[in-house]
Amino acid sequence: MTMRPYAGTLSSMLVRQYPIPWMSAVLVVASATIVSILGYLVAHGASPTWYAGLAKPPLAPSGTAIVLAWPVVMIAVVAGALLVVKAAGSFREASSALGLYFLLLAGGMIWNLAFFGLEDAGLAFGVMTILLLLDFALLREFDRHSRVAALIQLPYLGWLLFAAYLTATLWGLNRAI
C-alpha cells in the first residue's frame, strides 16, 4: 500500500492507494463463488434418471472429470478478472470488461438451469451459443487491460467449445426424449 497526496484542493490530505481495488476484487471472487455453488446445486439437484438415460456422445466426460476440471477453469477466469481490475485501477475503468465477466457468470447459471433444471438441451445449446459470443467479446475487452488476463481465459474458451459440442450432440442424439 502506498500513500499519495490527495488530488483535490486539500493536497495535504493523504489517501490510501491499494495495489488492487479490494471491493472490486471481493465482488469478482464472491460472484464466481456464488454462481459456482448455485450451478453445482442445480446440477446436483437434477433428476439423475434424466441425464443417465441420455445417449452420450463420444468424449462425454464423467461427472468426476467435470467436478475436477471446473474449479481449475473458474480460477483462471477469476484470476483474469482480478488482473483486469488491477490493471484498470478501478471498477469504473474496468466496467466494460467486468460487465462481460458478470454476464458470462450469469449465462453459465442460465445454461445450468436450461440443461439440468428444465432438461432442455436445445435451449441450453442456444444459451451456449450466446456464451461463446460473450466469451470472445470478453477476451477482446480483457486484452485491452492485460494480455495475460486475456490469455488465461483460453482454458474457459476451450471449456465452452467442448461444452457446446457436448450440448449440441446430446441435443441431436436425444431429440425423441
Instruction: Kindly give the confidence (pLDDT) of every residue in the chain, 177 residues in length, as a single tens digit, with 9 standing for 90 and above.
Output: 555 554 555 444 444 455 667 788 888 888 899 998 998 888 887 788 888 899 999 999 887 888 888 889 999 999 999 999 999 988 889 999 999 999 999 999 999 999 999 999 999 999 999 999 999 999 999 999 999 999 999 999 999 999 999 999 999 999 876
Residue with cell 483460453: 154
In a domain, 31, yes or no: yes
In a domain, 63, yes or no: yes
In a domain, 133, yes or no: yes
In a domain, 82, yes or no: yes
* Structural domain span for residue 41: 19-173
Residue 54 · residue 119 · CB < 8 Å: no
In a domain, 99, yes or no: yes
**Which residues are within 8 A (CB) of 136 and not within 5 positions of it... i.e. 6 or more apart?**
157
| Total-model pTM | 0.81
In a domain, 7, yes or no: no
CATH code of the domain covering residue 83:
1.20.1260.100
Beta bridge partners of 3: 16
In a domain, 13, yes or no: no
Query: Cell triple for residue 163?
Result: 461444452
Give the span between the Cα atoms of 119 and 83, in whole angstroms. 36
Give the span between the Cα atoms of 72 and 155, in whole angstroms. 9
Q: How many domains does the chain have?
A: 1
Residue with cell 461444452: 163
What sign for the dihedral angle of Cα 112, 113, 117, 118? negative
Residue with cell 484498470: 88
Beta bridge partners of 16: 3
In a domain, 116, yes or no: yes
